[in-house]
């Protein structure tokens, strides 16, 4: 999709931004360019680090860091493990913009347009490919703590109940009103990830990610429901970002880092906690981040 919308004015730091307003997005982009410089701000690859892939942000070379607090319209991130920085620089020879921290719908009253503002901003910064990651509970019994699952498709549960970032009037400059997500997770990018995984002895599962609204973890009966409908791992993010990326033509590669095993038995005393999620994410995140960096080196953008 062509991206030739030249921003006219920069938003003021505390200006109110409407994430559904295309001109407001351009004003946010102009503010970012004003702060870090036009050349630095332009990127070909966007990365959203979920819990676990934060080390990727730390590996960015020639990094320029812009805290979310300085970006008009960006709310604060409240979830531990999400630093709240937009990082510009180079990774694997590519110009990247990396989001160390995401906006979860449960933090922002299910305002999915607000939570996907960074994706629309990254699109205007020029990205063609987006890599997304999340921490997730494993449903498929082959999955173990610390495993990496390549996302091949998703079940965007909130959207099925009307909570989609695309709800509301649509400015055609964002993309089509009706968006096809049959190929949300790009097949060629998935094949590349599998090849790189083979070369680096990284066990990589391919599966379906289901997003629930959160922030409560799922009951055993809910896990059982998700298993029945074909989900392999479950979490509380990602699908809204991927949906908006597809609307504006960005190709997506997605990973779930399995931080816990979702419990199907209400008589078993298995308690999941965000501390456990962060603990496993920290243990496995470094290796997962190195693997994703290896994929980036091989990307043809
Ligand atoms: O941003 P992600 O999806 O990695 O964060 C996961 C989902 C919840 O926000 C939280 C639960 O522990 O971690």
234 Cβ below 6 A of ligand 1? no
C-beta 240 within 6 A of ligand 1: no
Query: pLDDT value at position 12?
Result: 84
Question: Rounded to an integer, what is the distance from CA 141 to the centroid of its chain?
Answer: 25
Which residue's CA is minimally distant from atom 10 of ligand 1? 274
Nearest to 97, CA basis, from 131, 145, 69, 72: 131
Give the number of the atom of ligand 1 that is nearest the alpha carbon of residue 281.
Answer: 4
Q: Which of 295, 288, 257 is nearest to 91 (CA)?
A: 295
Q: Mean per-residue pLDDT for 238-243?
A: 98
Domain interval for residue 177: 22-298
Q: Is residue 220 part of a domain?
A: yes
Any catalytic annotation for residue 135? yes
pTM: 0.95
Segment 275-292 shows an average pLDDT of: 91
Over range 41-55, report the average pLDDT.
Answer: 91
Segment 217-240 mean pLDDT? 98
In a domain, 80, yes or no: yes
For residue 8, the CA-to-ligand 1 centroid distance in Å is 36
Annotated catalytic residue 104: yes
CATH number of the domain within which 96 lies: 3.40.50.1580
How many domains does the chain contain in total?
Answer: 1
State the distance from the centre of ligand 1 to the C-alpha of 173, rounded, in angstroms. Answer: 31
Tokens representing residue 119 in the block? 């994706």
Q: Residue 220 — φ and ψ, nearest 5°?
A: -55, -35
- Average pLDDT of the residues of the chain: 94
Any domain includes 42: yes
Q: pLDDT tens for residues 133-167?
A: 999 999 999 999 999 999 999 999 999 999 999 99
């Amino acid at each position: 999709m062509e991206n030739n919308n030249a921003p006219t004015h920069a938003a003021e730091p505390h200006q109110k931004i409407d994430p559904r307003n295309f001109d407001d997005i351009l004003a946010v982009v102009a503010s970012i360019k004003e702060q870090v410089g036009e050349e630095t701000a332009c990127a070909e690859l966007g990365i959203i680090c979920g819990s676990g892939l934060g080390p990727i942000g730390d590996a960015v070379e020639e990094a320029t860091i812009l805290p979310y607090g300085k970006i008009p319209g960006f709310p604060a991130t409240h979830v531990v493990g999400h630093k709240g920085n937009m990082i510009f620089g180079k990774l694997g020879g590519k110009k990247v913009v990396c989001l160390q921290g995401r906006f979860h719908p449960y933090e922002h009253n299910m305002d999915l347009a607000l939570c996907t503002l960074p994706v629309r901003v990254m699109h205007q910064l020029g990205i063609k490919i987006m890599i997304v990651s999340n921490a997730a509970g494993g449903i498929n019994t082959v999955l173990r703590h610390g495993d990496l699952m390549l996302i091949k498709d998703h079940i965007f549960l909130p959207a099925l109940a009307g909570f989609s970032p695309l709800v509301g009037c649509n400015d055609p400059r964002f993309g089509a009103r009706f968006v096809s997500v049959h190929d949300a997770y790009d097949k060629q990018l998935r094949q590349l990830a599998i090849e790189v995984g083979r070369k680096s002895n990284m066990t990589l599962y391919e599966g379906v990610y289901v997003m629930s609204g959160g922030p409560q973890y799922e009951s055993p009966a809910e896990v059982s429901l998700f298993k029945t409908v074909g989900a392999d791992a479950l979490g509380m993010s990602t699908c809204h970002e991927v949906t908006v990326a597809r609307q504006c033509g960005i190709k997506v590669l997605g990973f779930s880092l399995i931080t816990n095993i979702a419990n199907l038995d209400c008589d078993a005393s298995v308690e999941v906690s965000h501390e456990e999620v962060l603990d496993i994410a920290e243990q496995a995140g470094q290796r997962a981040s190195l693997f994703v960096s290896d994929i980036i080196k091989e990307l043809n953008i």
